[in-house]
Amino acid sequence: MLTTSTQPLALAARVLIPATLEAVRRSPSFHLQGWKILDRWAVNSPLKLKALEQQGEMILLGRLLQQQETEHQVLTAAASQQWSGMAEHEILAAHEIATEL
């Protein structure tokens, strides 16, 4: 768990090559939720994230896009329901959304 505030993708920058980070930043498909996912993966599973990147940029970006869409759908729906006041990770866990690689 992170206890300090960091800039989006700062943690991912410690694991991924600059070209991969630039592809994420440039792509209109990714937004803050995707950046947070990438940082989470970098902290919790840096070796798996690096291995995914080594399989190819498109494979990593495809996996990230799937995760972003899943989390975004759940969190958007939860915002209009009884889930207010809960942290994102609590909402995702309650909906049994896998957040790790």
pLDDT band with cut points at 50, 70 and 90 for residue 4: low
DSSP 54: H
Close Cβ partners of 34 (under 8 Å, ≥ 6 residues apart): 24, 64, 65, 67, 68
Q: Tell me: the pLDDT tens digits for 38-84?
A: 999 999 999 999 999 999 999 999 999 999 999 999 998 888 787 77
Report yes or no on whether pTM surpasses 0.75.
Answer: yes
Cβ 21 vs Cβ 9: under 8 Å: yes
Domain boundaries, the chain: 32-94
Please report, for residues 35, 47, 76, the alpha-carbon distance to residue 14 in angstroms, rounded to integers and kept in the order given.
14, 11, 29
SS3 18: helix
Confidence at residue 63, expressed as pLDDT on a 0 to 100 scale: 98
Answer whether residue 85 shows pLDDT above 70: yes
